[in-house]
Chain A
Amino acid sequence: MKDKRRIRVLLAKLGLDGHDRGVIVVGMALRDAGMEVIYTGRHQTPEQIVESALQEYVDIVGLSSLADAHRTLAPKVVKLLRGKGASIPVILGGFIQPEDTPALKEEGIDEIFGIGTKLEDIISFIRGKAAEKKSETL
């Protein structure tokens, strides 16, 4: 039982959107589920988010956006991460138009948690991703 490291999650507000109710509630739930949550705060550029993700050795990056800029900015986060050789999965939550899902997934967003998502769904998805990563490294 040497790997007792808790799952580390970076939560970030992407772009200029200020709505943080959702991301904070998600952060509280992840923490209650035993994960370590690093929150960047608001108004983060893709570059800033990538820098935080790499600095904090997180297992997953959770982006929050409710103001549509994710159509442009979320894929940019993925691209920048991959450019730095990081395979960290990226998930997106907030106000996401369902018809944007296929394009966002194609551009490397692992999962989208829009309006109506249950906290439990996010928790189990992150656990699943972390387990996948662990089995890959074994």
Chain B
Amino acid sequence: MNKNNELAKLRDVFEKWEKEHSEEFSHERKRQFSSGDEIPIKRVYTPLELEEKGFDYLKDLGFPGEYPYTRGISPTMYRGQLWGISHYSGYPTPELSNQLWKRQIAGGGNLAYIAYDLATQLGYDPDHPKAEGEVGRVGVSMSSLRDWEIAFDGIDISKITISQVLNGPAIIGIASHLALAQQRGIDFKELKGVCQNEILKEYYARGNYIFPPEPALRLTTDALYYCGKYVPNYQAIQVSSYHPAERGANPIHEAAFALADAFAHIQSATDRGMDVDTIAPTIQFLTGHQHVGFFQEIAKLRAMRKIYARVLKERFRAQNPESMKARWYSAIMGTSLHREQYLNNIGRITLSALAGALAGCQVIDSRAYDEAFGIPTDEAIMQSIRCQHVVAQETGVTDTVDPLAGSYFVEWLTSEYEERIDKEVKIIDEMGGMVKAIERGYVQRVAAGDAYKWQRKFESGEIVRVGVNYLPSEVEERPPRIYRADPKVEAERIAAIKELKRNRDNQTVKTTLERVTEVARMEPTPANNLMLPVLEAVNSYATVGEICSALREVWGEYVEPLIL
């Protein structure tokens, strides 16, 4: 009663204020202000908007570390532990990457975030005809356990987290990490690692798939289940909203696709008789965020956390709170950085890092100021890591948990995102889930439509980027140095594979590969987990290409539905 009176009074004062200033309002810079995904943004937000949303502190926010985790997944957040600082990187060979990661660790990075070359990501060894022109170009070529031994020589893998961007052959990457840990006597219970291992977004956003969705999902969930049981600190999947966003999907679509992806993975695992509370705690999200739409990005991530917790609890009947927590490994979006006036990117990176901190990310993955020129140079990577240290050490945003909570605007926007994302998830649910939506080309078409709209708006000047279509420089500015992969690396890597094949026990390799094929042919029950034969194959120094061939033999390759 009292609250209603207060709101009625507020409404009166608000209306009076609006009337008084109507003349000033008519001179605003734009007729309509809106977010990138066309949510209309009002002039001012008050408790009235929260009332319209039915906002309730305990129901919608609660406390940090408690359901529905809107305010963050831990009760202390950055007061307890700062977010992890990572930088996606990999130089062409295991030897060069080893030096790179050592430098990053010395510079205060606590993660080696492996960027693989495309040949490895698509399950081809350097000597395969399809690897021509690709070896080492966009990341490291790592084909066997031998390459892992070289890449992490002198790096204490019990202290740092190794994170891999590997999807099609993810299970091989995880097995290689486990095999190296075994060699060094590290207890699986202590081992920390992350692998992207999220195949669904490859079909509609990133394009690095090998097998058709059904067997590919089996590989993913086999890894989840194995890690859930034996390697509890391993995040064996990163469900990605980053890639749909980079592919052009607007923030609402991007968030909905990622959530629908996560639910598809969990459904696939539980359908195979796996327990939700065994696999869900191993799930991490690879979210994306940028400085563009600063508050929207924060609201989006808060809303996603809330939806995820609700669905895990209500639909999947999770009991363990760890299953309901959405963990953000959040990457600053490469497409938010530009070539023109490239030093402006330092500002963009720092603002993005700040947005990530305000959204409660567990890890923030940087991009570098020379991102738009190619694989980042060493100096740009280090600079970018330092942007994060500035946010973490100097701004004080880490001193209190979820400092934007209670902002009328941020809470209204969080509720608005929750409603809009929910609606999109429902559309996919009604199609029969994410796999069906991908097979029908729905997700691809939505993302393409968003991308096309964005491009037209950008070219018309409606979307503004400083230095690109606003106050451009007359003279082109270029970083003093641009990184280029040396094409000669291809021959070196082919030689390395040949040498490996000469020096290993090829009979054991043959036997372990046959076992991989054999298990792949079996019913996909939890007992026929492919992690075990893959681990044996890896330990016999079978290559990524060989193991993928053993699986291709059973499953064939995926052919994409064309949406153009």
B485-A68 in contact (CB<8A): yes
Number of interface residues of A (CB under 8 A): 35
A42-B452 in contact (CB<8A): no
B118-A39 in contact (CB<8A): no
Which among B132-140, B220-228, B392-400 touches the partner chain? Answer: B132-140
B445-467 vs A: 1/0 string, CB under 8 Å?
00110011001100100000000
CB-defined contacts of A116 to chain B, threshold 8 Å = 339-340, 468
A45-B134 in contact (CB<8A): no
Distance from B206 Cβ to chain A, minimum over Cβ atoms (Å): 5
Distance from B496 Cβ to chain A, minimum over Cβ atoms (Å): 19
Bound complex: CA of A24 vs CA of B206, how far in Å? 13
Q: Which of B248, B560, B564 contacts A37, CB < 8 Å?
A: B564
Q: Which of B124, B372, B451 contacts A21, CB < 8 Å?
A: B451
Known: A21-B247, A68-B485. A16 touches B122 (CB 8 A): yes
Q: Does A69 contact B (CB under 8 A)?
A: yes
In chain A, positions 16-55 with a C-beta closer than 8 Å to chain B are 16-21, 24-25, 27-29, 31, 37, 39, 41-43, 45
B451-A24 in contact (CB<8A): yes
CB-defined contacts of B131 to chain A, threshold 8 Å = 16
Bound complex: CA of A28 vs CA of B451, how far in Å? 10
CB-defined contacts of B133 to chain A, threshold 8 Å = 15, 68-73
Q: Does B13 contact A (CB under 8 A)?
A: no
Bound complex: CA of A41 vs CA of B209, how far in Å? 13
B122-A28 in contact (CB<8A): no
Q: Does A2 contact B (CB under 8 A)?
A: no
Bound complex: CA of A45 vs CA of B206, how far in Å? 18
In chain A, positions 58-79 with a C-beta closer than 8 Å to chain B are 67-73
CB-defined contacts of B487 to chain A, threshold 8 Å = 71-72
CB-defined contacts of B562 to chain A, threshold 8 Å = 39, 41
Q: Does A118 contact B (CB under 8 A)?
A: yes
Q: Which of A16, A25, A29, A71 contacts B248, CB < 8 Å?
A: A25
Q: Does B484 contact A (CB under 8 A)?
A: yes
B560-A16 in contact (CB<8A): no
CB-defined contacts of B202 to chain A, threshold 8 Å = 18
A25-B452 in contact (CB<8A): yes
Distance from A54 Cβ to chain B, minimum over Cβ atoms (Å): 19
A69-B137 in contact (CB<8A): yes
CB-defined contacts of B54 to chain A, threshold 8 Å = none
Q: Does B53 contact A (CB under 8 A)?
A: no
List residues of chain B with CB under 8 Å of any chain A CB: 118-119, 121-122, 124, 129-134, 137-138, 202, 206-208, 246-248, 339-340, 372-374, 447-448, 451-452, 455-456, 459, 468, 482, 484-485, 487, 559-560, 562-564
Between-chain CB contacts (< 8 Å), 15 pairs? A13-B207, A15-B118, A16-B122, A16-B124, A16-B134, A18-B202, A18-B206, A19-B206, A24-B448, A25-B451, A25-B455, A29-B455, A97-B482, A115-B372, A119-B455
Of all A-B residue pairs in the complex, the 8 with the closest CB atoms, nearest first, are: A18-B207, A72-B133, A69-B133, A16-B118, A39-B564, A68-B137, A27-B564, A69-B134
